[in-house]
Structure 1
Amino acid sequence: MVKLLLNSGPMTQKTQIILHAARMGNIEVLQELINQKTDLNAQDEKGYTPLIIACYNNQYQAAKLLLESGAAIDACDHGGNTALMGVAFKGYLEIAELLIGHGANLNLQHGNGGTALMFAAMFGRNELLQLLMNSGADKTILDARGLSVFDLAAQQGNEAAIILLEN
């Protein structure tokens, strides 16, 4: 515990600013911070990076700028969640297309074994589910409880997802 406290100082001012700019989609501020060589993969106390925050807050242009400037596409927060998992949960199709187009790993699993495909199925984001499958997401992966994307869709009563997954 003492070691953890010693190693976890407050976020730098630049980190706070880049995270806020990503959340708000402030391209001007992001570009200035990029020009100043600010760490694009800096994390807040939950492990969120500017890219994760931009994607989760549906800030397409900010996400695009961060990706084009070298932000780590598959960076994970402290729970193992990636930007792609966040947009699968939220249902942001355009940002999912952007992430997939930049090579996001479709089959990464967070701390409980869930994948972006599982999030899409559980939360009724069926357009995203289709996009992920068309892009090569693996529907045979099991989460930590041994459940598949089919099981999770069924638990949620997402019959449309089950039909999509079967085809």
Structure 2
Amino acid sequence: VAGGDEGSDSDDGDWDIGVVCQEPQQLDQMWQADRNEALKKALFRGDVSLIEELLNSGISIETSFQFGWTPLMCAASVANFAVVRLLLDRGANACFEIDKYTALMASCTAQASEENILNTVELLLSRNADPNLTCRKQMTALMYAARKGYPRVVAFLVAHGSHINAQDENGYTALIWAAQHGHKSVILKLLELGADKNLQTKDEKTAAELAKINKHLEIFSLLSLAANHLQGRYHKAVEQEAICKFLTAVSDHSVGAYSAFHDMEVFLHGLGLEHIKGLLKERDIALRQLLAMQKDDLIQIGITNPGDQRKLLDAIIDLQVEEIKFEDISEIMKLEL
């Protein structure tokens, strides 16, 4: 029995000694590490009340996690608007960057709804985040948003001073990034806002060429036909999109079947002008003839609505600027992508 008691006393003694041997500094470090881990989990869960509780307990708003990320970087990377707002209100630095990667860039690459990303971006910009800062690869927040395919975010960044034609270390612009990844809505928005489609990468590739290389047929067609003279000022994207639809429809038919394909109907449908089809058919006007007309010609054949005239004339100019004749379009679409 004595032996058993002795063993029991020995166990208790070891446990007591273990506790006593913990230095106060070590205990503080353990406690801090636990709180940091709890904060990190709360950030990614979006647990606002727990985050507030942890901040109130004394944990720093600029606590550094793995790779030097702060709570704001973590919240921005998942575009959690409520958490980002809380952290900014508690003093987080909206311009924080780690290795030249900013919270604004992190929000533009978030895997979240575009609505959440847009709200987060708007909030960061309202707290003086700089949209033109570049990462180590010279990419801006606009380029990240274009690469991910967020047209509303792209428009908002440009409206708030982001340089639309800035180029990264490889010469890529926001437009080129969008073309490479096949984001048509972003491309239409960038063209509308004045992006230069003729800028080249360091490998001397344009946005259209990279779209072709990456097999984005519709985007290649769109960029090939975009009118240079319209860039740099606001214009409706519908005409370019109409031509894009027309080319795609042509590409869906074999060359043999092309002669029987009703090109005029496709063209008018793309422009939303189906209602003038009967008028043109009645006057036996072919698409080649229509594409050579000017305003007076349109009036003469009975197209008197100013809106209809504008749509047609803009589409005609888009084709003429690039010197692409209608009879060549089917050949363009046969290019190997």
TM-score w.r.t. the length of structure 2 is 0.43
One-letter amino acid matched to 1:123:
H
Query: Which residue does 2:140 correspond to in 1?
Result: 82
Deviates more, 1:13-22 or 1:102-111: 13-22
In the TM superposition, residue 118 of structure 1 has moved relative to its aligned partner by 0.4
Give the distance between the partners of 1:27 and 1:125, measured in 2 at CA: 25
Give the fraction of aligned pairs with identical amino acids, expressed as a percent. Answer: 28
Query: Which residue does 2:219 correspond to in 1?
Result: 161
Matches within 5 A, 1:4-153: 13=63, 16-45=70-99, 47-57=100-110, 58=112, 59-153=117-211
In the TM superposition, residue 36 of structure 1 has moved relative to its aligned partner by 4.9
- CA RMSD in angstroms, aligned pairs only: 1.8
Give the distance between the partners of 2:206 and 2:79, measured in 1 at CA: 35
Secondary structure (helix, strand or coil) at the match of 1:13 reads coil
Q: Which protein is bigger by CA-based radius of gyration?
A: 2
Give the distance between the partners of 2:180 and 2:129, measured in 1 at CA: 28
In the TM superposition, residue 61 of structure 1 has moved relative to its aligned partner by 1.4
TM-score w.r.t. the length of structure 1 is 0.83
Deviates more, 1:70-79 or 1:18-27: 18-27
**Number of aligned residues:** 155
| Structure 2 unmatched runs, 5+ | 1-61, 227-337
In the TM superposition, residue 151 of structure 1 has moved relative to its aligned partner by 1.5
Give the distance between the partners of 1:35 and 1:144, measured in 2 at CA: 42
Secondary structure (helix, strand or coil) at the match of 1:129 reads helix
In the TM superposition, residue 40 of structure 1 has moved relative to its aligned partner by 1.9
Give the distance between the partners of 2:191 and 2:142, measured in 1 at CA: 14
Cα gap change, 1:153/1:26 in structure 2, threshold over 3 Å: closer, same or farther? closer
One-letter amino acid matched to 1:26:
N
Give the distance between the partners of 1:159 and 1:75, measured in 2 at CA: 33
Give the distance between the partners of 1:17 and 1:41, measured in 2 at CA: 13
Q: Which has the higher contact order (CA 8 A, sep 6+)?
A: 1
